[in-house]
């Protein structure tokens, strides 16, 4: 059985560099259409059911704004 995960993005820590969006092999993450309180457009989870818990997103995040829980 394939790994499943649940990614969680902390909107207030994310500065919208989008490294995680590019690092995700199954395109789970995208850009939020609403700015956070700092004025940045953070990453958001767009296809949570596709997450394979590979950890690429939290590995490349310079702000430690992403946590991936294995299910």
Q: Where are the domains of the chain?
A: 5-70
Q: Residue 45: pLDDT above 60?
A: yes
Model confidence at 1, pLDDT cuts 50, 70, 90, reads low
Model confidence at 3, pLDDT cuts 50, 70, 90, reads confident
User: Is 43:30 a contact under the CB 8 Å cutoff?
Assistant: yes
Residue 23's closest CA among 49, 50, 61?
Answer: 61
Average pLDDT for 17-24: 97
Q: Which CATH number fits domain 5-70: 3.90.79.10, 3.30.70.20, 3.60.15.10, 3.40.50.300?
A: 3.30.70.20
Q: Residue 36: pLDDT above 70?
A: yes
């Amino acid at each position: 059985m394939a790994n499943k995960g649940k990614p969680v993005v902390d909107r207030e820590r994310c500065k919208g560099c989008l490294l995680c969006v590019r690092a995700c092999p199954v395109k789970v993450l995208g850009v939020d259409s609403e700015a956070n309180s700092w004025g940045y457009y953070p990453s958001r989870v767009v296809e949570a059911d596709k997450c394979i818990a590979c950890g690429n997103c939290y590995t490349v995040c310079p702000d430690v704004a992403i946590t991936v829980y294995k299910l």
